Structure 1
Amino acid sequence: MVKSHQEEYEEMVEIEDFRRHQPTGSDDSHPRLLSTNIDSNRSSQVHPDDFMAPQWPPSIVGSGSSPSLTLRSGATTPYDQLSSTKHLIYTDSRSSTPMNGRSPSKELSSSDSEVHEKVTILRKRDDADIWKGWRRHLYRLTPFLTFANTAVYMVYLGLRIACVILAQKATDTTFAAAWVFIAVELAVAIPSLMHNGWTMWSLKSRHRPKMRLVGNDVPTVDVFVTCCGEDDEVVMDTVRGALDQDYPGDKFRVIVLDDAKSPGLQRDCALLSHTYPNLYYMARTKIPGQPHHFKAGNLNYGLEQSHHLPGGAGEFMAALDADMIPERDWLRALLPHAVQDPKMALVCPPQLFYNTPPSDPLAQSLDFFVHVIEPIKDAMGVAWCTGSGYVARREALEEIGNFPLGSLAEDVATSTLMLGKGWKTAYVHEPLQFGTVPEDYGSHLKQRTRWAIGTVDTSFKLNFCLWGEKVRQMTFAQRFSGFLYASLSLYTILLSISLFAIPVILIMGKPLVAYANDTQLRWLIRACFANTIVNRLCEFVLFIPAGYHTGQRGSRYQLWMSPYIALCIIRSFVLPKWLGGQTQAFKPTGSLSSALNERDPKLKKNMFRRLWAILFNYMAAFHFAFVYLTLVAATLVSYRCFFQESHRVRDILICLVTHAFWPPLTFIFICSSMWTPIGYAIDPPQMPDREELLVRDPQTKVAHPTPQSKKVAFGGQAAWFEFEYTFSTLYTCLIFVASFLF
């Protein structure tokens, strides 16, 4: 008697179920074991595509008579009889996976109009609800103001250089301090100039509408939640949010990829799977001494194991970090961009946070990057994978060999390789996920230095996206972007070295600005005034999408974070191991037994403990030494101007301006930026318990951030820095006026 496909499938499921319950040793004995919801052996030949299943997954609703897989947790995964329907709308986007048994096809099985009927456009712009009105109209001036800012700065710099040369000819003296000061100013300005070169490309309009996928005939998605030692409650909030999607339950499943094998997390997933049968828990075996490739290895493990789940792999995969809670319309908001374009490989939203402290002293919010830089990159067709919340096409992942291994920045590497193969990436500027920033100083350093090392490492492997087979199909804009952001990380080495030139040249007592006569001095002051004002105006307009204060925090962050990034890059790519070389993110020196808990009003360590840890364990003594030496040098110079120069007021003022107080008081801005770690240790921001930042459904336990927690509060530190910027601008205006009076 010939068995039907369904009978064969049920029989083989029973065989597999029997194998699972045989005494085969501990879970750790097999590298392919799925720890809770399903155990699959790579040698098994049970593939749903053998039975030509045209849709996935089998209904998870089930009925009382439906057979089921018995799980170790005690939960069951019901499945209905496989449908024999052949009509598929999304076959253009499917890869060759066990879920469909088909080869990739670029032709739609239905007309384009049928596909588009599944998508509705809510707004013409995806960020229409984030910022609008006069801000959007003013922001259109960004490329013109950026160009003007760059042009005025180059004129000012050229005038400075010309005056030094003329002064040297007139006095037959070499003004070494003036040359060093020009070099330092240029070193500090180069990151901004490089960004300016990129932001001028915002002249190209960005057209990405706000769309939603409608109906139940939608693509199948495997949602991976990657975790490795995070608090179980934090992970479970993400899992519940992922399960609570406004998306057909039989079209997506949530797979927890636990690299720490937490018994509590495994138990919680098992309990929740009773309510959500589309929840799975997996934990790979990591053999000591063998590389496990961090997050990339974990994701690849999930991609591989999803082929063995009922129905095979999904058409798309999505990934969430352990702490990133998605909004309910997350999948419906991202997938339309991929559904409408068969060459769209990756769609990603911004990473936003709900526990950012007031004033965001460490610039953890990433708002400038996600609200300003990424939209510009998206307009140029070079959107980066943001690391969490993204949706990727399986076919594109398979073409690049899944997530690249051996990198600390698998997200950047993945999107870059996709672009190199001719695929497209998209950035959807909507608030679709909210996570947590590191809650202590050390974790913040480790996170950011890991990103920098990963970006540079990826760039080295891809020849800075300038040439090679892996980037062959990249456009000029895509290559320039890859080169720019890797260069900015490497540039921190030069910037860190140049910073200490400031106190040195001040202590030397030589003029920072050289000129041959008073007329040259007046024009230098006026050019400096023009450069300062245009720069302030450009910053105000450029920072509009993220917020003015957010942009200013980002500028200070580039300075005080540079020594940490530079040190880690030197250790990772320059020094041999016997000289301290190591390929890893920042690691504190000495013994730091526990976190400082600096943001917890009840558990935080005392100020002496915080200062000691940040100054010595976290090496902020470099920052302290810089600030101390610079202020001492400025005091000595001022003393000389008052007591060793002429007693005429005019001469004293000129001495002060040309030696230490050249507008716009660059040394004060640099000192205040470098003081950030010490100021943070003395007076860290206070944050409430995480639960107070969430609104939790008492029945389902699904939690989402409160509206207030999604915003960065304006605090005292932000007010102080604004006072500093205002003071330096007014000081520049005052010196400008004085150039006409004296």
Structure 2
Amino acid sequence: MIEMKETKGSPIQSPIRRIPESLDFSDHRHSENQQPSAIGSSKKYSYSSEWLSPHFSESLPGTPSASRPSTPTSNSYGNGFISRSQQSLATLLGSTRQTASPLKESSPSATVIHLNDRDDVDIWKGWKRHLFRLIPVLAFGNSALYIAYLALRIYCVIAAQKTYNSIYAGAWVFISIELAIAIPSQMHNFWTMWALKSRNRPKLRLIGNDVPAVDVFVTCCGEEDQVVLDTVRAACDLDYPYDRYRVIVLDDGQSANLKSAVNELATMQPNLLYMAREKFPGVPHHFKAGNLNYGLDQVHLLPGGAGEFMAALDADMIPEREWLRATVAHLAIDPKMALVCPPQLFYNTPKSDPLAQSLNFFVHVIEPIKDALGVAWCTGSGYVARREALDDIGNFPLGSLAEDVATSTMMLGKGWKTGYIHEPLQYGTVPEDFGGHLKQRTRWAIGTIQTAIKLNFCLWGSSVKKMTLAQRFSGGLYATLGMTTVFVTASLLAIPVVLLWGKPLIAYSSAEQLRWLIRACFASTIFGRICEFVLFIPAGYHSGQRDFRYQIWMSPYLALCIVRAFLLPTWLGGQAVAFKPTGSLGSALNERDPALKKNMLRRLWAILFNFMAGFHFLYVYVTLVAVVLTSYRCFFADFDTKQIIVCLITHAFWPPLTFLFICTSLWTPVSYAIDPPIMPDREELLIRDHKTGVAHPKPKSKKIGFGGQAAMFELQHSAATIYTCLVFAYSFWL
């Protein structure tokens, strides 16, 4: 039962946390009467925990122990399952550390305050928000203009074939290429039209000490110890009552050094534990999903049992101090809310973000629209989930490389809600090498498609029977978008062939038709540019442009992995894995480290051959040679000046210079190998408290700097737009 009250100026009490007297946390604590930083009036909700079963806990060392019954309460969380045996923890706890803190019983109610009607009020506001409201109209207009332009192209080809009694194969192939490249953007356009539905996710905070119990899992598998420990220290330093949450390191890499470091830290943090499951040869361990499920099972054996909620952090994701108070608040006021997730943000993204490693377009544009439609995805880190909902779907689903997407999708299929909290509540690191980036993104793509296939693309089946129409559409759309990379790659291969062929790309039966084709192309291109500018506002204009280029140059990698995972039999090389480099690199390239990076020849060799960017290199050069040869034919044919210009426009330089956009996009891995971005040492990106060891990213490192590559791409983009305008103007003299 949720009772909603409205108050103003209600003070926030700082959580009381048991910490060793030898550590000075004074600079991290709020004053006891600190006021909420609300904008306008603040609403107050009374959160009743009556659906929680009674909690049985033990006190911290040095305090009297609470009495505990001898049998566990079935299906009870938050005040949870009782420890079945202290001896079962012997293998998990170091002999020199204190017993982990049990979760203390919560009081009948906790308080949630309403800080603002919008959770993203601090991210973007003012004229940008007002302009973004036009997106549904602009997206509809953009799609309508493109369809009209495409229909005119097809009509003119048919008319030319009838007039000249000839087949214009080159024109048909060019239409197919443009359509294949446009499909992803048009699908995004169709999706963004749904932004017409307003998103009403308020900014909330859970205050006081009577709050739900949370088990915080930090999942890791072979990451650097210092990276994991920074996440662990920040997780232990949350602004949340110390006896209402536990931090549990789930180490799938079974690192002895990490275990020792965590156990040492646990002597000062009684709510910290280290766990590592045993893996058996030949027995599937199901990667991250198996690791999380292991943690879900083990917390039942801890003092106090399992918390009502579980939260998960990736090994490199440093949470902000208000992370739990911001996220749990949304779960507390709605018992049908199964999972909430904040955006994944990063603090080590290099200038210009040449590989499009930030997720800014997805987290600032796509996810808020999905949330408005009730289709918020779990994005892998920083999320908080209700244990009852996890039980309902049988814990984290196995058999997918994207267990996070599968989890939230199955929750929606069971009739639960998921939410997206558009606040900067965690910051992590992007892969610092080209190979790591490829492996990460191909794993995401394969996992999304695996999930869609297992759930029948969210169209039918018991697992999705309670989904709404919007939820079913979203579930199928993003898997389909991944699969379109196969068609995009195939269409890319046709471009240099058509150009070398020397056939006209544009067919028409009269000068009047050519004029209208140019004008329709101009209208579609310019309107598309306007739509892009407005659509990219929340993420930043350059972030959106990088994302579009990324879809082109990443397509061959994604297509290769998708074909191997879903089309090829095992005996032909089929396997459901992420991208793997060919051969052996011998040692890391360290391309972003000014002191350790390999020389340019080594980088080029590795990226062109081991990472298969040789395809990109050959494609660009063959395409440019084809453009030169096609243009040569126009200049040396028996044409006058007007005919030469028309020949160039219709054979290679049709606006908005699609070949140029494709070539500059596909050149990305090559330019990265030649001149990779330089990044400072990770420690230089952080502000560290030397007393506690807790580190958080510097404000500057949270932003993506504008660099030379971004300027170069913008120059190319602007030149193509100006060229389109000039051709449009020339159409009046044809």
Contact 2:206–2:328 (CA<8 Å) still a contact in 1? yes
Give 1:54's aligned residue: 54
**Coordinate RMSD, CA, aligned:** 1.7
Instruction: Pick from 569, 581, 587 the counterpart of residue 574 of structure 2.
Output: 581
Aligned counterparts of 1:508 and 1:78: Cα–Cα separation in 2: 72
Counterpart of 2:680? 688
Residue of structure 1 equivalent to 2:507 = 514
Matched with 1:593 is: 586
Q: Does the residue aligned with 2:205 lie in a helix, a strand or coil?
A: strand
1:561 aligns with 2:569: no
Give the number of equivalent residue pairs: 661
Q: CA deviation at 1:741?
A: 2.4
Q: Residues 489-638 of structure 1: matches in 2 within 5 Å?
A: 489-638=482-631
Q: Per-residue deviation at 1:727?
A: 0.4
Please list, as runs of the form range in 1=range in 2, the aligned pairs for 1:140-159 lying within 5 A after superposition.
140-159=133-152
- Three-state SS of the structure 1 residue aligned to 2:556 is helix
Residue in 2 that maps onto 1:205: 198
Residues 230 and 79 from structure 1, CA distance in 2 versus in 1: closer, same or farther, beyond 3 angstroms?
Answer: closer
Checking the alignment, whether the CA contact within 8 Å between 1:349 and 1:389 is kept in structure 2 is yes
Structure 1 residues 718 and 61: alpha-carbon distance in aligned structure 2, compared to 1, 3 A threshold: farther
**Shift of residue 78 of structure 1?**
7.0
Local SS of the residue matching 1:76: coil
1:272 aligns with 2:265: yes
Q: Does 1:476 align with 2:469?
A: yes
1:406-443 Cα shifts (integer Å, max 9, x gaps): 11100000000000000000000000000000000000
| Contact 2:342 2:424 survives alignment (8 Å) | yes
When residues 53 and 381 of structure 1 are mapped into structure 2, their CA distance, relative to the original with a 3 A threshold, is closer
Alignment partner of 1:650 out of 638, 642, 648: 642
1:251 is aligned to 244
Give 1:38-77 correspondences, 5 Å limit.
54-55=54-55, 58-60=58-60, 62-63=62-63, 71-77=93-99
Deviation at 1:57, TM superposition (A): 5.0
Aligned letter for 2:55? Answer: Q
Matching residue of 2:234: 241
Match of 2:653 in 1: 661
Aligned with residue 173 of structure 1, among 166, 178, 189: 166
- Counterpart in 1 of 2:125? 132
8 A Cα contact 2:135 2:534, kept in partner: yes
Match for residue 361 of structure 2 among 363, 368, 386: 368
Sort the Cα spacing of 1:119 and 1:82 in 2 relative to 1 into closer, same or farther, 3 A: closer
CA distance in structure 1 between the aligned counterparts of 2:358 and 2:533, rounded to whole angstroms: 18
What amino acid sits opposite 1:88 in the alignment?
P
TM-score in terms of structure 1 length: 0.87
Kept in 1, the 8 Å contact 2:103–2:213? The answer is no
CA pair 650-317 structure 1, distance change in 2 beyond 3 A: same
1:717 aligns with 2:714: no
Q: Is the 8 A contact 2:101 2:246 kept in 1?
A: no
Q: Return the offset for 1:77.
A: 2.5
Q: Which string of whole-angstrom CA distances, capped at 9 and with x for unpartnered residues, describes residues 502-560 of structure 1?
A: 11111111110001111100010000000010000000000000000000000000011
Question: Could you tell me how far 1:378 is from its partner in structure 2?
Answer: 0.1
- CA offsets per residue over residues 572-631 of structure 1, 9 Å max, x none? 111111111111100110111222100001111111111111111011111112111110
Q: 1:78 to 1:690 in 2, by over 3 A?
A: closer
Question: In the superposition, relative to structure 1, how do residues 201 and 80 fare at CA in structure 2: closer, same or farther (>3 Å)?
Answer: closer
Is 1:325–1:435's contact at 8 Å kept on the other side of the alignment?
A: yes
Deviation at residue 396 of structure 1 after TM alignment? 0.1
The CA deviation string for residues 191-216 of structure 1, in whole angstroms up to 9 with x for no partner, is 01111111000000000011100010
**Structure 2 residue aligned with 1:37:** none
Q: What amino acid maps onto 2:99 in structure 1? A: T
Gaps of 5+ in 1: 1-51, 90-114
Are the aligned partners of 1:637 and 1:660 in contact in 2 as well (CA < 8 Å)? yes
CA contact 1:60–1:278 (8 Å) conserved in 2:
no
Q: Does 1:313 align with 2:333?
A: no
- 1:22 corresponds to: none
Residues 435-444 or 69-78, more deviating: 69-78
Give the distance between the partners of 1:727 and 1:170, measured in 2 at CA: 35
1:493, 1:196 → 2: CA distance? 20
Give the aligned partner of residue 28 of structure 2: none
**Structure 2-normalised TM-score?**
0.88
Q: How many angstroms apart in 2 are the aligned matches of 1:489 and 1:58? A: 50
- Residue 339 of structure 2 contacts residue 418 of structure 2 at CA under 8 Å; is this kept in 1? yes
Distance 2:303 2:680 in 1: 43
Find the residue that maps to 2:702 and give its secondary structure: coil
* Equivalent in the alignment of 1:12: none
Distance (whole Å) between structure 1 residues aligned to residue 116 and residue 104 of structure 2: 38
Contact 2:686 2:698 in 1 (8 A): yes
2:104·2:243 contact (CA, 8 Å) conserved in 1? no
Secondary structure of residue in 2 paired with 1:490: helix
Quote the Cα distance in structure 2 between the aligned partners of 1:82 and 1:440.
44
Q: Distance in 2 between matches of 1:80 and 1:221?
A: 11
- Decide whether the 8 Å contact of 2:222 with 2:253 is kept in 1: yes
Residues 181/311 of structure 1: CA separation in 2 closer, same or farther (3 Å cut)? same
Cα distance between partner residues in 2 of 1:564 and 1:340 = 43
Partner of 1:27: none
Per-residue Cα deviation, 1:636-673 (whole angstroms, up to 9, x for no partner) = 01111111241x21111101000000000010000000
CA displacement 1:372-410 (0-9 Å, x = unmatched): 000000000000001000000000000100000111100
Residues 1:283 and 1:80: Cα distance change in structure 2 (over 3 Å): closer
- Structure 2, unaligned runs of 5 or more: 1-51, 68-85
Counterpart in 1 of 2:342? 349
Task: Provide the C-alpha distance between the structure 2 equivalents of 1:81 and 1:721, rounded to a whole number of angstroms.
Answer: 53
Question: CA offsets per residue over residues 321-368 of structure 1, 9 Å max, x none?
Answer: 000000000000001111111000000000000000100000000100
Asked whether the equivalents of residues 324 and 434 of structure 1 are also in contact (C-alpha less than 8 Å), the reply is yes
- Determine the C-alpha separation between the residues in 2 that align with 1:371 and 1:699: 35
- For 1:601, give the aligned amino acid: P
Secondary structure at 1:277's aligned position in 2? coil
* Cα distance in 2 for residues equivalent to 1:354 and 1:398: 35
Whether contact under 8 Å (1:56, 1:220) holds in the other structure is no
Give yes or no for the alignment of 1:697 onto 2:719.
no
Checking the alignment, whether the CA contact within 8 Å between 1:512 and 1:658 is kept in structure 2 is yes
Report deviation, 1:308: 0.2
Within 2, Cα distance between the matches of 1:483 and 1:357? 33
Tell me, in whole angstroms, the C-alpha distance in 2 between the residues paired with 1:474 and 1:65. Answer: 47
Cα separation, 2, equivalents of 1:275 and 1:716: 47
Structure 2 counterpart SS, 1:226: strand
* Residues 58, 250 of structure 1: 8 Å contact kept: no
Identity %: 69
Instruction: Please give the alpha-carbon distance, in whole angstroms, between the structure 1 residues aligned to 2:170 and 2:184.
Output: 23
Residue 55 of structure 1: how far off its partner (Å): 2.9
Distance 1:156 1:733, change over 3 A: same
Structure 1 runs of 4+ off > 2 angstroms? 52-73, 77-83
Distance in 2, Cα, partners of 1:443 & 1:339:
38
Which whole-Å CA distance do the structure 2 matches of 1:317 and 1:186 have between them?
45
SS of alignment partner, residue 347 of structure 1: strand
1:561, distance to aligned residue in structure 2 (A): 0.5
Which of the residues 425, 437, 446 maps onto 2:430? 437
- CA displacement at 1:56 relative to structure 2: 6.1
Deviation at 1:66, TM superposition (A): 9.6
Q: Deviations over 1:144-186 (max 9, x none)?
A: 0000000000110011111111111110011000000000000
